[in-house]
Structure 1
Amino acid sequence: MHPHHRLFRRRALAVSLFSCVFSAAPAFADDAATDLDQIVVTATRTAQTQDQALAAITVIDRAEIERLQPASLPALLTGRAGISIANNGGVGKSTSLFLRGTESDHVLVLVDGVKIGSATSGGASLQDIPVEQIERVEIVRGPFSSLYGSEAIGGVIQVFTRRPAGAFSPNASAAIGSENTQRVAAGVSGSAADSRGWYVVNAAHENTDGINAYRGTRNFDPDKDGYRNDSLTVQGGYRFSERWDADLRAFRAEGRNEYDGSVNNEADTVQQVVGGRVRYVPGARVKLTAGLGTSADLSENFLDGVYSSTFDTRRELGSLQADIGIATGLLTLGFDWLGDKVQSNTDYARDRRINRGVFGQWQQAFGAQSVQASVRRDDDSQFGGETTGSVLWGWDVTDALRLGASYGTAFKAPTFNELYFPGYGNPALGPETSRSVELSLRGEHGWGTWSLNAFETKIDDLIAFDSSLGDTGGPNNIDRARIRGVEAVAGTTWLDWNLRASLTWLDPVNDGDNASHGNVLPRRAKQSGRVDADRRFGRFSVGASVTGAGERYDNLTNTTRLAGYGLTDLRAGFAFTEAWSVQASLNNAFDKRYETAALYNQPGRTWLVTVRYQPAAR
């Protein structure tokens, strides 16, 4: 960090107007020349430096990923501000992420600007995105339906796959670990001599015997439940002139998962994202972007090797966005199109729907104050229209201190299972809606950075099981929730130790007129946190992470309690040369037994040793 205080508002619109690095569908053509640690795009759909952002943002870059050596993407996210994780039995098993206490399907997940997730279940399979394919992760907390539409009640998580690091940059790694874990990854990236073109190819393989995921009685099987994942990322782009550039990108992960506690015990899965983007910059103050993409969440399920069911959902997306500089402000206008399709051996009454959304956003700096205001109208072929909006304000009280406030509304469209699953779905369902307010204070000093965020979210028409519907009941818009919370984040360097910490306090309660009124919403811990400490000693590096969560309940009635826990992960590394290094990690070092979902085991003490080849980019 520069020893002098940096103005929060400096270059407030210059990046958005002139950098041409990202847009609605992120642009990658000149990423190699951009300091990605400073540029964020998810909170505004335009490029800005992280200290300009008015929203609460956490950024995890490639260097941090390699330093922490996480077992999975959910492990990388565990304990971050506002995040609770519930996992059904270890690496590769079904994982739910709760952001700021909202439901697990109230989080919008993007991969390289393309929306992912299952249109039937509503969740995104974060566990199937290998960390070796990830360049960086942006976590934006708060309601953002006014920019993205459905699902962004709790926030948005965007995963960016690997990027070029120079003119030519190969990488490779191989790892072995406990539970017969094996990981192999290799890739190459680069850019043309004239910097007009660039490319990335990266492949990864992971296989583990796993643990016995389930200790309950439903289809109980005490064997280990393994997991395999094979993934490939291919990307490329070209700048035709100062005004025109385009890129294409594709990511595919094929998995084989074994599990217990369900009507099936095996699944073949695919997560796939394909997208492209063309950008035209007719002048210094105007940028036009058009993007197309598709994502797929495919699953074939088996019971003891015998085929049982198929649930394939595909999303087709298109977007148009214009960023226009007007005086000292930035106006963004856009149109999004989304088509959901379902293919299954289960007979859904309807197997497709279309959503169209138009949005506008204004960003402006007024001396020491900044504002971001947006509004959006979505029209869904299933339930009709929904209008959302948000306003964020920031005031640089001093060069090192910013005060902020925001208000926003958001919504979540019902899933195909909630609408049309035979014998269960309710086609009369409407969207869940929310209202959120937030106050924030953050500082940036010579010794480090810190932030405090206090928020309240009220959610209406929550979809919950209604026993009054038919003979067996079904989902209905009958519930409400009220969630209050405080997040604290800090980072500093002390005695050459790089220290980072995040703490979250939540009060997520059922506010509906039912027997569970006042109860804690299930699978959310009221307290959670994470502390990371790392230091280098020449060629050696050492580090530790402590993550913890308070007690939680596994059901609406709060009769099934899960105890709190604290975990310690240790790591070390040694660089033989500039290109070759070895890393070792010991996760859950004290072999704690705990659960994040009732009856589903979590790994005990595990170890992993990784050899990495990554020469300096040329």
Structure 2
Amino acid sequence: MQFPRHCLAVAALAVASSHISPSHASGPVAATDLDEVVVTASRTALTQDQTLAAVSVIDRERIERLRPPSLPALLRGLPGISLANNGGPGKSTSLYLRGTESDHVLVLVDGVKVGSATSGGAALQDIPVELVERVEIVRGPFSSLYGSEALGGVVQIFTRRPRGAFAPYLGVGAGSERTRSLSAGVAGRAGEGWYSLGAAHAETDGIDAYRGDPSRATPEPYLDRDRDGYRNSSATLQGGYRFGDHWDAEARLFRAQAHNEYDGSQNNEADNVQQVVAARLRYTADGPLTLVLNAGRSADLSDAYMDGVYSSTFDTRREVASLQADIGIGGGLLSAGVDWQGDEVDSTTVYTVDRRHNRALFAQWQQEIGDHALQASLRRDDNSQFGGRTTGSALWGWDFADALRLTASYGTAFKAPTFNELYFTGYGNPDLRPETSDSIELGLRGEHGRGGWAINAFQTEIDDLIAYDSRLVDDTHPYGQPNNIDRARIRGLELVGHATLAGWLLQANASWLDPRNDSHGASEGHVLPRRARRTARLEADRELGRFSIGATVNAAGTRFDDLANRKRMAGYATVDLRVGYALAPQWQLRLGTDNVFDRDYETAKFYRQPGRSWLLSLRYSGG
């Protein structure tokens, strides 16, 4: 189908309907309320209108309003984001940000880097949205602050925080495909301390996710006509305390255990664990100095089975630590520090090297001079596998009128090869170099009481992309090896807006993307796989006394599933509806219906997406 142009028009109209007003920045703030600041874009606390990067923030209020069934459903269609999902809830989900590769996005949970060091991806589908307080999405190259993987941007997920002295919550739900869910938690503050405890469980019978490949000349070996279910049990525990005027500390634990059924592979079941343990110690001096020590450990654990019989293990454990100093100097802010990361792989597959470490030094300067704002950063990474890599970025903002801010930026970034690409027996290539990029961006935005808007144009050029190279076939590697042989050139335009009109709360965005293979060869000029060149999303919500109503429209254009652009996936548009009723001030009954018109579409070739589905939920929010 053709991309539904009317959806782009609706999104653009909603953006244009918000007027412009001043958004003058007044310098870095020492704020701690995550509802008011963004920390991912600069590793320091800034109000959202102060940030010079392109940022999207989803707070708990918006999550409560949308009530998405999963974290990928919450992120779907946001500016710059394309998702590829292998068949519904709990299935493998890849996130492409601004047309870069799925492993070019750094994912943090409460400040700790998560994901698999073997495959390079983060299991977003296993992080329950019920335990999420806030998501910050920073688009653009940020290796100069975070190192490897922040080539396309950074997604940081914050788990639930206290919203009062004592705030319990409870949720139960039931829906189509025998979906059922339960969540509960409590958070609060007492004196100089705070705490948060939450748990969630969800399970579904799922759908028959894998269609199979009808073009095969022989019978499909991994086609199993059954429902592919999923269940997830998760918990989070965290707390903090302020020791006098200068010291405060926090500790966090998050764990999610999932069981997933799937088809299309030599295995059809997996038990997965995502875990994060983190601690932070902060010292704030009487003068303009803050020191922050962070330490954490994440785990991505996976056991695979075939019809209940154990098959393989791929476990990644990652340790991270950082020391950062923020020093106010002459009206500006200097941030400098050191990062350390160690990765370890434990698998039934033998890796010639199963651990590596990375050390880094970084520095950043933020300054405001009249109507101008500057942010410049430089970082040097020293990796035990490939040696050193230096990245840098510069961002500039100008409030040239009371209602307008112009921004411009340039940045370099890199992505380190994964353990599979480097060391997988019979396939890995230990001579791989990191993938590198150069990006430029120009933006314009404005805010006022009724709404705001932003438009961003960008270009990213990526060198030394890692791809399969048949020329490297030899006796040891009969199937070839990965090699640094590809290039890509990505251009894009994003239009984002929000407004309150006639009682309606509107959120809208539209993106135009041109992600091209720039390598010499058969795929030169082809569109990079699984990236939709046009996407749009519109949310509309309204309160009517005790009732609330809302709708979300998601639209995406044609995309391909292969480098040769032979496996085409048609464009689509879906509509989600929601209605709620306040039984009492603290009790909410909600009914959500997704894909109301039962559209048949794919985001990964041969894998179905759920048709029309519904979820009825009852929520209690105290405090």
**Normalised by the shorter chain, which TM-score bucket?**
over 0.9
**596-605 or 210-219, which deviates more:** 210-219
1:414-453 superposed matches below 5 A: 414-453=417-456
1:118 to partner: Cα distance: 0.2
* C-alpha distance after superposition, 1:348-403 (max 9, x if no partner): 00000000011000000010000000000000000000000000000001122100
1:213-612 superposed matches below 5 A: 213-216=209-212, 217-470=220-473, 471-612=478-619
Tell me the distance in 1 between the aligned counterparts of 2:232 and 2:140. Answer: 32
Q: Secondary structure at the match of 1:132?
A: helix
CA contact (8 A) 1:100 1:506 kept: yes
- Aligned residue among 191, 205, 213 for 2:189: 191
CA contact (8 A) 2:26 2:368 kept: no
- Divergent runs of 4+, >6 A: 3-6
Residue 70 of structure 1 is matched in structure 2 by: 68
Residue 205 of structure 1 is matched in structure 2 by: 201
Residue 39 of structure 1 is matched in structure 2 by: 37
Residue 153 of structure 1 is matched in structure 2 by: 151
Residue 24 of structure 1 is matched in structure 2 by: none
1:6 to partner: Cα distance: 6.4
1:345 to partner: Cα distance: 0.6
Q: Give structure 2 stretches of 5+ with no counterpart.
A: 1-17, 213-219
Residue 28 of structure 1 is matched in structure 2 by: none
Tell me the distance in 2 between the aligned counterparts of 1:558 and 1:235. Answer: 47
Tell me the TM-score normalised to structure 2 length: 0.95
Tell me the distance in 2 between the aligned counterparts of 1:254 and 1:597. Answer: 25
Q: Secondary structure at the match of 1:190?
A: strand
Tell me the distance in 1 between the aligned counterparts of 2:407 and 2:251. Answer: 37
Q: Secondary structure at the match of 1:576?
A: strand
1:443 to partner: Cα distance: 1.1
1:467 to partner: Cα distance: 0.2
1:169 to partner: Cα distance: 0.5
1:5 to partner: Cα distance: 7.7
Tell me the distance in 2 between the aligned counterparts of 1:38 and 1:236. Answer: 20
**What letter matches 1:433 in structure 2?**
T
Residue 176 of structure 1 is matched in structure 2 by: 174
1:424 to partner: Cα distance: 0.8
Tell me the distance in 2 between the aligned counterparts of 1:590 and 1:511. Answer: 38
CA contact (8 A) 2:462 2:487 kept: yes
CA contact (8 A) 2:23 2:446 kept: no
1:84 to partner: Cα distance: 0.3
**442-451 or 318-327, which deviates more:** 442-451
* C-alpha distance after superposition, 1:549-571 (max 9, x if no partner): 00000000000100000000000
Q: 1:5 to 1:504 in 2, by over 3 A?
A: closer
Residue 119 of structure 1 is matched in structure 2 by: 117
Residue 4 of structure 2 is matched in structure 1 by: none
Tell me the distance in 2 between the aligned counterparts of 1:318 and 1:6. Answer: 41
**What letter matches 2:545 in structure 1?**
G
Tell me the distance in 2 between the aligned counterparts of 1:333 and 1:565. Answer: 46
Residue 7 of structure 2 is matched in structure 1 by: none
1:160-171 superposed matches below 5 A: 160-171=158-169
Tell me the distance in 1 between the aligned counterparts of 2:621 and 2:440. Answer: 45
Tell me the distance in 2 between the aligned counterparts of 1:489 and 1:459. Answer: 25
1:268 to partner: Cα distance: 0.3
| Higher-RCO chain (CA-CA 8 Å, sequence separation at least 6) | 2
Tell me the distance in 2 between the aligned counterparts of 1:49 and 1:284. Answer: 22
- Aligned residue among 101, 104, 107 for 1:103: 101
CA contact (8 A) 2:105 2:149 kept: yes
Residue 79 of structure 1 is matched in structure 2 by: 77
1:59 to partner: Cα distance: 0.2
Tell me the distance in 1 between the aligned counterparts of 2:525 and 2:432. Answer: 24
1:40-59 superposed matches below 5 A: 40-59=38-57
Q: Secondary structure at the match of 1:283?
A: coil
Tell me the distance in 2 between the aligned counterparts of 1:86 and 1:360. Answer: 35
1:38 to partner: Cα distance: 2.2
**What letter matches 1:183 in structure 2?**
S
CA contact (8 A) 1:106 1:151 kept: yes
1:494 to partner: Cα distance: 1.1
Tell me the TM-score normalised to structure 1 length: 0.95
Tell me the distance in 2 between the aligned counterparts of 1:392 and 1:253. Answer: 37
Counting matched residue pairs gives: 595
Q: Secondary structure at the match of 2:285?
A: strand
Tell me the distance in 1 between the aligned counterparts of 2:492 and 2:361. Answer: 31
CA contact (8 A) 2:20 2:404 kept: no
Q: Give structure 1 stretches of 5+ with no counterpart.
A: 22-33
Tell me the distance in 1 between the aligned counterparts of 2:131 and 2:359. Answer: 31
CA contact (8 A) 2:359 2:382 kept: yes
* C-alpha distance after superposition, 1:108-128 (max 9, x if no partner): 000000000000000000000
1:282 to partner: Cα distance: 1.7
